Amino acid sequence: MAIKNLSYYPYTHAKSFIANPTDPWATNNYRGQVYEAHVYDAILQGESVHGMITGKIVLRGPYATARPTSGTELRFSYNKERSLYYTSGGETIAEFDMLVVAPSKVQFIECTISDSNTNVKNLVAKIIRKRNLLRLLFPSCSVSCLIASDKQLNDSNFASVPFVSTVSIPFPQVNLLQLAKTARLDHLRPSPSSVTIGKINSCSSSFDYFATMHTLSGELWNVDDLHSVLGKIKNRYSGLIERIYWGWVPFSGLTPGARSIIADSVCPNLPDSIVTFLYIPVKDPTVLRYVYPLPGAKRNQWMEINPLKKRASLVPHRKRLAKDLGEISRLLPHRKAAELKILLARMLNN
C-alpha cells in the first residue's frame, strides 16, 4: 500500500531528475525525497517499525488538509508541498520528515540514504537542533529521534546523541523515472493513528527566534559576560541560535586588519562613518565577524568579512544572517573602538 501511495506525493527534485537521470546530484536529491515519502507512508500505515513508534503521527503531504501558511507566526506550518516546518516570524527554524506525539513523549524521524561520514556529521547537527527546538515546544515531554535508512547504519556514529535509535527500511522497489513523470500531490484519507497540525499547534509552547536572539544578545550588551551567554546557548539553544550580536562601530573604529580587508577586496573608498555590525559566531567564538551594508545598494544588502579567510563576500538575502540584521540592526548598541579592543582580547581568552 505504501508504495502505491508514492504517486500522491510531490517531489521538487523530479524535474531535475527527468532532465538528467544520470546526474548524481539530481538522482540523489530525488531518491532522498522518494525514500522520505516511502518511510512516512509505511510508518503511517503501520508497517516497518513495529514497537518503535508510539503516539499520533502529525499529518503532512497528501494526508494534510490544511492550506499552506505564510509562516509569520510561531507555529508548525506547511509549505505548498505540504512539508512540515516550524516557523518563527517568517523564519524557517526546522523541517521534520516525520513527527510523532504522545502525552509524555515526542519522537521525530530523520530519513537518510547516505552513510558517508560527512552526512552522518551533518545529520547529528540537525538532530541536535531539532531536538532542542522540540524540548522548548514540549517542555514536559521526553524527546527522541529515530533515524530511518536504507543502509545498515553504525550505531557508534551516534554515540554523542544517546536519544537516537536507528532502523533499516529498504528503498522502495519502484520505477523512479516513471514516478517522477506521473506523481502529483493529491489527497489521501488519513490514518486513525494520526493528528492534525492544528491540534499540535494548540497544545505546544512556542519558540520566538528573533526575541530569543535579541534577549541573548542583550545579555551580552548589559552583562558583558561572553562565557555566560555562550554557555546558555550551548545548554539550551544549540543549533537554534548560531550567532550573538555585539553592536556596531563606525568603519574608522575597526581594527586596521578589518579595514584593510574591506578596502582591498570590496570598497576602497568606504566612508569612515558607515556602520559596521559585529557578531560572534557560536561555533567559533574566537573570531569576530563584521557585516556592513553594501554602499549604493537599492535595498538592504550586506557584506560579511571573514578575518580568517581575509576576504569579504555578499550575504545572500535569503540567508538567516541577512534576515537577522533586518530585524535586529536598528536595536544594536553603539560601540567605541576601545570597547572593541577589550572584546577581542576577551575572545582570545575565552
Report yes or no on whether pTM surpasses 0.85.
yes
Angle between helices 209-223 and 226-236 (to 10 degrees): 150
Q: What percent of the chain has pLDDT over 90?
A: 42
Per-residue confidence (pLDDT) for residue 316, from 0 to 100: 83
Please indicate whether residue 343 or residue 264 has the higher confidence score (pLDDT). Answer: 343
Q: Are 115 and 151 in contact (CB under 8 A)?
A: yes
Q: 3-class DSSP state for residue 324?
A: helix
Q: How many CB atoms lie within 10 A of CB 122?
A: 13
Per-residue confidence (pLDDT) for residue 169, from 0 to 100: 92
Q: 3-class DSSP state for residue 83?
A: coil
Which class is 4-203 in CATH?
A: alpha beta
> Which segment of 92-106, 155-169, 259-273 scores lowest on mean pLDDT?
259-273
> Which segment of 94-108, 146-160, 242-256 scores lowest on mean pLDDT?
242-256
Q: Are 219 and 113 in contact (CB under 8 A)?
A: no
Helix (H), strand (E) at residue 36: helix 24-44
Angle at 123 between CA 287 and CA 347, to 5 degrees: 15
Grid cell locating 149: 535508512
Per-residue confidence (pLDDT) for residue 89, from 0 to 100: 80
Helix (H), strand (E) at residue 149: strand 142-149
- Would you put residue 77 in left (φ > 0), alpha (ψ -120 to 50) or beta? beta
- Which of 189-193, 207-211, 253-257, 299-303 ranks highest by mean pLDDT? 207-211
Per-residue confidence (pLDDT) for residue 333, from 0 to 100: 86
Domain ranges of the chain: 4-203, 209-348
pLDDT tens for 253-271 read 777 777 776 666 555 556 6
pLDDT tens for 102-141 read 999 999 999 999 888 888 899 999 999 999 999 999 999 9
Quickly state the pLDDT bin for 225 (edges 50, 70, 90): confident
Please indicate whether residue 105 or residue 90 has the higher confidence score (pLDDT). Answer: 105
- Which of 212-216, 249-253, 254-258, 296-300 ranks highest by mean pLDDT? 212-216
pLDDT tens for 35-78 read 999 999 989 888 767 678 888 999 999 998 766 555 557 799 98
pLDDT tens for 321-332 read 888 888 888 888
CA 293/CA 299 separation, integer angstroms: 9
The widest CA-to-CA distance across the chain, in whole angstroms, is 68
Instruction: Give 57's contacts (C-beta < 8 A, 6+ positions apart).
Output: 43, 44, 98, 99, 100, 191, 193, 194, 195
Quickly state the pLDDT bin for 85 (edges 50, 70, 90): very high
The β-bridge relationship of strands 56-58 and 75-78 is unpaired
Per-residue confidence (pLDDT) for residue 68, from 0 to 100: 58
- Looking up cell 569576530 gives 288
CA 47/CA 217 separation, integer angstroms: 47
